[in-house]
């Protein structure tokens, strides 16, 4: 299966991650993204549904089931196999970036200590 | 339905109907869940007086722009609208940017001591040195030019920042003109040009919202070529104005815009099948600022008793406005027929066995 190597946006990355362990509805995803990012990413509803629509369109996420909660529609979403592959590819891409940056940072010396031109 | 829910649904009306058919109920439920509180008093207050936060409204506005002015993966109709608005933005920035080579050509011509008719030389000798506004005008032209180049080079945020600074000049000019009117030092018609310019500047800056993440990159070659050709062409009328007495000039800026628009419209009407629907739609949209600047300048000439222009400029101006309007109607009809149909709502399928 072909997986994009372009990487996904940060909100999309967190939405995919939020759905990795269990199907969730919109508000559940918002909460989970907040927790996963330790409060750094606070998705707004418009942003969430822009991301969800795109992920559903790309086949990375699909509806799981619908429930009525306090008279309101709750649609649960789950990760597809393609979504799982895409998330894995993005994790690998980000990990490679982190490894490369770590190597450079460990090799770093203050300017006064000299270095290559 | 609570007042808060009603207000949020009102904001959601910014989204296309086909999108709302699928997602509205879910978005409303998620939004209401996100603002829910255990405090009964606060919950009642929210129900009756609550409003969606500006950031929530902003997220819906952003989504609406992305959906209506679509990019790569948008439905055909949204993509055509997106491309049309992006073209309008590029043409708007280009038009503002071309004021710079025109002004510079005049300055260089005068500074270089190149030949000038006696009447123009006398007029220049009697006029005061370039004032603050003339300098600001050139600086604003430079800002628009850099904003245009940045957009063509796909530096969208930097382009928007520069365009906002350019807009700042238009705001300043309109504010000063209004203050002059309030102080009784200028007639009401002196507000027309700066306020029309401000309005058009605001619209041009707003069109930059169509250059969102999903929007395809600008095709560099044709737009850089347009800048080069436009810069040369805009220098010609700038110098021609100097080469003849001012009151003989028929080449005013709105007139040039009208002529450019008319030529483009005729090309499109002659063989619409060979033109992209988005380009035709962009032309239809551009008709509004072109007509606005033409009619505004004519009204200003009328109010000043035609002191600064030849009667021929006014007559030609009226003809230009009529021709633009006459061509805009068939072009709009033709373009609307060519637009792809709106998408039909497609609800994502939900496995029925999981439904409770």
Q: Which residues of B touch A26 (CB under 8 A)?
A: 26-27, 29-30, 33
Interface of B with A in 311-350 (CB under 8 A): 348-350
Nearest CA in chain B to A44: B56
**pLDDT for the residue B27:** 93
pLDDT at B238 over 70: no
Q: Which residues contact B239 (CB under 8 A, 6 or more apart)?
A: B105, B106, B109
- Residue B106 is encoded by which pair of tokens? 């005049």
The DSSP letter of residue B308 is S
Q: How far apart are CA A64 and CA A25, in angstroms?
A: 9
Q: What is the pLDDT of residues B267-276, one digit of tens each?
A: 888 887 778 8
CB contact under 8 A, A46 and B59: yes
**pLDDT for the residue A82:** 93
Assess: ipTM above 0.85.
no
CB contact under 8 A, B30 and A25: yes
CB contact under 8 A, B26 and A27: no
Burial class of residue B66, CB neighbours in 10 A (0-12, 13-18, 19+) = buried
CB contact under 8 A, A65 and B27: no
Q: Which of A75-79, B72-76, B239-243 has the lowest mean pLDDT?
A: B239-243
- In the predicted model, residues of chain A with pLDDT beneath 70 are 1-7, 111-117
CB contact under 8 A, A75 and B356: no
Nearest to A53 by CA among B26, B301, B249: B26
Q: Which residues of B touch A74 (CB under 8 A)?
A: 26, 29
Between B252 and B131, the more confident residue is B252
**pLDDT for the residue B352:** 47
- Residue A51 is encoded by which pair of tokens? 């991301």
Nearest-5° Cα angle at B289, B266 to B164: 130
The DSSP letter of residue A8 is -
Between B313 and A59, the more confident residue is A59
Nearest CA in chain A to B72: A54
Q: Is the sign of the CA dihedral B309, B313, B315, B318 positive or negative?
A: negative
Closest CA–CA distance from residue B28 to any residue of chain A (Å): 9
Quickly state the pLDDT bin for B14 (edges 50, 70, 90): very high
CB contact under 8 A, B59 and A53: no
The alpha carbons of chain B give a radius of gyration, in whole angstroms, of 25
CB contact under 8 A, A72 and B59: no
For residue B248, what are the CA distances in angstroms to B106, B201, B245, B299, B302? 17, 29, 6, 19, 16
pLDDT at B306 over 70: no
- Residue A59 is encoded by which pair of tokens? 């086949």
The alpha carbons of chain A give a radius of gyration, in whole angstroms, of 18
Q: How far apart are CA B61 and CA A46, in angstroms?
A: 8
Q: Which residues of B touch A65 (CB under 8 A)?
A: 350-351, 354-356
Between A117 and B219, the more confident residue is B219
Q: Which residues contact B122 (CB under 8 A, 6 or more apart)?
A: none
Nearest to B253 by CA among B88, B95, B145: B95
- Residue B201 is encoded by which pair of tokens? 């500047």
CB contact under 8 A, A72 and B28: yes
A94: enclosing H helix or E strand = helix A81-107
Q: What is the pTM of this model?
A: 0.77
- Residue in B63, B73, B213 closest to A49 by CB: B63
The structural domains of chain B, with segments of one domain joined by +, span 3-66, 78-243, 249-340
Closest CA–CA distance from residue B200 to any residue of chain A (Å): 29
Phi, psi of B344 (to 5 degrees): -85, 140
Region B285-290: mean pLDDT is 93
Q: What is the pLDDT of residues B181-206, one digit of tens each?
A: 777 777 777 778 888 889 999 999 99
Quickly state the pLDDT bin for B321 (edges 50, 70, 90): very high
B330: enclosing H helix or E strand = helix B311-338
**pLDDT for the residue B170:** 85
Q: Which residues of A touch B59 (CB under 8 A)?
A: 44-47, 50
For strand A72-79 and strand A61-69, is the pairing parallel, antiparallel, or unpaired? antiparallel
Are B27 and B14 a contacting pair, CB within 8 Å?
no
Quickly state the pLDDT bin for B281 (edges 50, 70, 90): very high
CB contact under 8 A, B350 and A44: no
- Residue in B27, B33, B73 closest to A49 by CB: B27
B288: enclosing H helix or E strand = helix B277-303
* Count of other CB atoms within 10 angstroms of residue A56: 18
CB contact under 8 A, B349 and A63: yes
**pLDDT for the residue B346:** 57
Q: How far apart are CA B257 and CA B296, in angstroms?
A: 13
Quickly state the pLDDT bin for B122 (edges 50, 70, 90): low
């Amino acid at each position: 299966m072909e997986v994009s190597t372009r990487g996904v946006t940060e909100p999309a990355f967190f939405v995919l991650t939020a759905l990795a362990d269990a199907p969730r509805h919109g508000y559940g995803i918002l909460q989970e993204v907040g927790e996963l990012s330790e409060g750094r990413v606070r998705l707004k509803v418009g942003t969430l549904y822009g991301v969800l629509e795109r992920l559903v369109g790309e086949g990375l996420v699909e509806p799981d089931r619908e429930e009525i909660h306090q008279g309101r529609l709750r649609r649960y979403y789950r990760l597809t196999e393609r979504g799982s592959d895409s998330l894995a590819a993005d994790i690998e891409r980000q990990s490679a970036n982190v490894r490369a940056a770590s190597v450079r940072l460990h090799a770093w010396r203050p300017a006064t200590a000299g270095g290559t031109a | 339905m609570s007042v808060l829910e009603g207000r949020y649904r009102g904001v959601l009306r910014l989204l296309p109907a086909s999108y709302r058919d699928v997602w509205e109920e879910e978005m409303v439920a998620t939004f209401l869940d996100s603002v829910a509180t255990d405090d009964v008093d606060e919950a009642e207050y929210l129900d009756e007086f609550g409003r969606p936060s500006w950031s929530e409204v902003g997220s819906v506005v952003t989504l609406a722009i992305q959906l209506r002015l679509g990019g790569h993966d948008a439905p055909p109709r949204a993509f055509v609208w997106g491309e049309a608005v992006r073209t309008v933005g590029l043409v708007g920035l280009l038009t503002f940017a071309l004021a710079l080579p025109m002004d510079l050509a005049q300055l260089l011509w005068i500074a270089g001591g190149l030949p000038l008719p006696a009447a123009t030389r006398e007029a220049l000798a009697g006029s005061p040195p370039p004032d603050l506004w003339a300098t600001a005008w050139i600086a604003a032209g430079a800002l628009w030019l850099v904003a245009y180049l940045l957009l063509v080079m796909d530096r969208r945020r930097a382009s928007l920042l520069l365009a906002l600074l350019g807009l700042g000049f238009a705001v300043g000019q309109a504010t000063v003109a209004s203050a002059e009117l309030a102080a009784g030092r200028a007639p009401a018609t002196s507000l027309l040009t700066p306020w029309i310019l401000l309005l058009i500047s605001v619209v041009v800056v707003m069109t930059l919202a169509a250059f969102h993440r999903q929007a395809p990159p600008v095709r560099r070659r044709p737009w850089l070529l347009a800048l080069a050709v436009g810069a040369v062409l805009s220098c010609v009328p700038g110098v021609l104005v100097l080469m003849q007495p001012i009151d003989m000039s028929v080449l005013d800026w709105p007139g040039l815009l009208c002529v450019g628009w008319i030529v483009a419209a005729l090309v499109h009407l002659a063989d619409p099948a060979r033109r992209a629907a988005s380009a035709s739609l962009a032309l239809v949209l551009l008709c509004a600022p072109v007509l606005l600047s033409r009619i505004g300048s004519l009204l200003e000439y009328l109010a000043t008793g035609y002191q600064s222009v030849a009667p021929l400029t006014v007559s030609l101006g009226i003809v230009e406005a009529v021709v633009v309007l006459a061509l805009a109607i068939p072009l709009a009809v033709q373009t609307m027929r060519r637009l792809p149909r709106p998408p039909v709502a497609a609800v994502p399928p939900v496995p029925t066995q999981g439904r409770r």
